[in-house]
Structure 1
Amino acid sequence: MITDPWFYVVAVPAVLITAISKGGFGGGLGLLGVPIMALVIAPQQAAAILLPILCLMDLVGLWKFRGKSHLHSLQSLLPAACIGIIIGALTFKFFSADHIRIIVGLIAVIFSLNFWLQPSDRVPKKPSRLRGSFWGTIAGFTSFGVHAGGAPLNAYLLPLKLVKSEYVGTSIIFFSTINFIKLVPYTLLGQFTFETLTTAATLAILAPIGVLIGVRLHHKISDKWFYQLCYSFLFVMGVKLLFDAFY
């Protein structure tokens, strides 16, 4: 187990932020978990420590938002995400974490600016199998390397203007599925060491606590402010990723 106290100074808030985000906002700020932990350890090790904890968060989220999801979107997103994970696993040695950060960061920033610059009364988009398959593949690919699938997923889900509980429930089902799938290639690639797993087990107690806090916040925010916050989180994610990639 990692014993460096500075690691836990950054890891505890990183896990809590991720869990609160998953429980209340569909995982928007969860992308910050790996970059925060990477301040003191390697990004690959941070991703490996966080993955089992993410799976535990997903289980709590699935229970709290059971029966609330947009099944039509999941039918196109999930199969495509599996393809994205396979691409990510096969190209693991060729793409650096910075390459993935640039891709996701650009998607997040451009998509957020597009939302703010368009008229506020725009009509919600209809579900599209083609768009869902495209963004699902990108989300699976970017999620594999640095757990950064939130921006591509939001690029598809947010324009649908779903009821907030349906949006969060759909996000939780999507990420719980791909996170459990990722356990297989992470294991095959040797990402889970004894140190990684024991450290993850130590931090795991924070997962349900953070998710339940997020659920409580979720029910106290109106739909209008919920989407404003989601797009703001998306923009912050993009800027953070681009900053990390270039500096």
Structure 2
Amino acid sequence: MSPDAVLGMVGAISILFGLYRLWTDRGGRVAAPASSPGWVGALCGIASGFTSQVAHAGQPPFQLWVLPRKLDRDVLVGTTAIFFGIINWIKVPAYAALGQFTPANLVTAGLLMPLAILSTLVGVWLVRRISPARFYAVIYWLMILVGIKLVWDAIA
């Protein structure tokens, strides 16, 4: 499967899911189930790992499973960080086998590390300033924007 096909598919699903959740949160008639069977979560987890490995786009499948549960804001952010921390560590052997840990890549990663730490701190600051009532609406809008970007990358 080509990375562009994965990007396009994940992007389209992200847009549709974000729009659907915004619609249901504003009084739409059909609500997504908050407690799907465990096998649905397993499929979303597999899809998240696959799309993360192939196209660095694992967030939308993860959100399909987690967002309908309406977790507390801090629990959602923490769960997301832990899940993708684990996913990224699982990818290390594959990236090593593909020869991705070159001296140039490691130097680049080292130089970008302060920016990653700063971005994390800014993200924590932003999350704590968004009211819990608006938190999910912001997440859905961001999901739609990410979906649009993924579709654009797939067709460009």
> TM-score when scaled to structure 2?
0.91
Q: Distance in 1 between matches of 2:41 and 2:66?
A: 9
Task: Specify the alignment match of 1:186 in structure 2.
Answer: 95
Q: Distance in 1 between matches of 2:16 and 2:108?
A: 36
Q: Distance in 1 between matches of 2:54 and 2:78?
A: 23
Does the C-alpha gap of structure 1 residues 174 and 144 become closer, same or farther in structure 2, counting only changes over 3 Å?
Answer: same
How far did residue 227 of structure 1 move? 0.5
Matched, 1:197 2:103: no
Does the C-alpha gap of structure 1 residues 235 and 156 become closer, same or farther in structure 2, counting only changes over 3 Å?
Answer: same
> TM-score when scaled to structure 1?
0.59
Does the C-alpha gap of structure 1 residues 108 and 161 become closer, same or farther in structure 2, counting only changes over 3 Å?
Answer: same
- Matched residue pairs, number? 153
Task: Specify the alignment match of 2:26 in structure 1.
Answer: 120
Task: Specify the alignment match of 2:69 in structure 1.
Answer: 160
How far did residue 124 of structure 1 move? 6.4
Which runs of no fewer than 5 residues in structure 1 stay unpaired?
1-94
Task: Specify the alignment match of 1:234 in structure 2.
Answer: 143
CA contact (8 A) 2:18 2:141 kept: yes
The higher-RCO structure (CA 8 Å, 6+ apart) is 2
How far did residue 120 of structure 1 move? 3.2
Task: Specify the alignment match of 1:218 in structure 2.
Answer: 127
How far did residue 128 of structure 1 move? 3.2
Task: Specify the alignment match of 1:143 in structure 2.
Answer: 52
Identity %: 38
What are the Cα deviations for residues 169-189 of structure 1, in whole angstroms up to 9, with x where unaligned? 111110000101101100011
Q: Distance in 2 between matches of 1:223 and 1:119?
A: 14
Q: Distance in 2 between matches of 1:123 and 1:145?
A: 28
Q: CA RMSD in A?
A: 1.6
Q: Secondary structure at the match of 1:162?
A: coil
Q: Distance in 2 between matches of 1:142 and 1:241?
A: 12
Does the C-alpha gap of structure 1 residues 161 and 124 become closer, same or farther in structure 2, counting only changes over 3 Å?
Answer: farther
Q: Match for 2:98: what amino acid?
A: L
How far did residue 143 of structure 1 move? 0.3
Match of 2:41 among 125, 132, 138: 132
How far did residue 155 of structure 1 move? 0.6
Q: Distance in 2 between matches of 1:134 and 1:235?
A: 21
How far did residue 102 of structure 1 move? 1.1
Match of 1:106 among 5, 8, 12: 12
Q: Distance in 2 between matches of 1:222 and 1:131?
A: 30
Q: Match for 1:105: what amino acid?
A: G
How far did residue 110 of structure 1 move? 1.2
